[in-house]
């Protein structure tokens, strides 16, 4: 499991949306715990996800 590279945008998006497989979500969670850059991206994604959910 690597925490040393940034997950790509689609991975972060799916993480924020809660649609990653558990094994991959764990890797992303591990990375985000130490990476403010990706924390900010996921925060943005969660905002988008909430908007999409509210729109359905």
Binding-site ranges for Zn ion (CB under 5 A): 6, 35, 37-38
Specify the residue, 40 or 52, whose C-beta has the smaller distance to Zn ion. 40
Q: CA-CA distance, 31 to 1, in Å (whole number)?
A: 10
Which CB sits closer to Zn ion, 20 or 38? 38
C-alpha pair distances (Å), 35 with each of 2, 6, 40, 51, 52: 13, 8, 9, 25, 26
For the bound state, the minimum distance from the C-beta of residue 6 to Zn ion, rounded and expressed in Å, comes to 4
Q: Which is nearer to Zn ion, 6 or 17 (CB)?
A: 6
């Amino acid at each position: 499991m690597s925490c040393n590279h940034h997950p790509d945008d689609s991975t972060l998006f799916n993480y924020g949306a809660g649609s990653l497989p558990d094994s991959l979500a764990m890797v992303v969670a591990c990375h985000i715990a130490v990476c403010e850059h990706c924390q900010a991206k996921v925060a943005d994604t969660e905002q988008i996800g909430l908007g999409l959910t509210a729109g359905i």
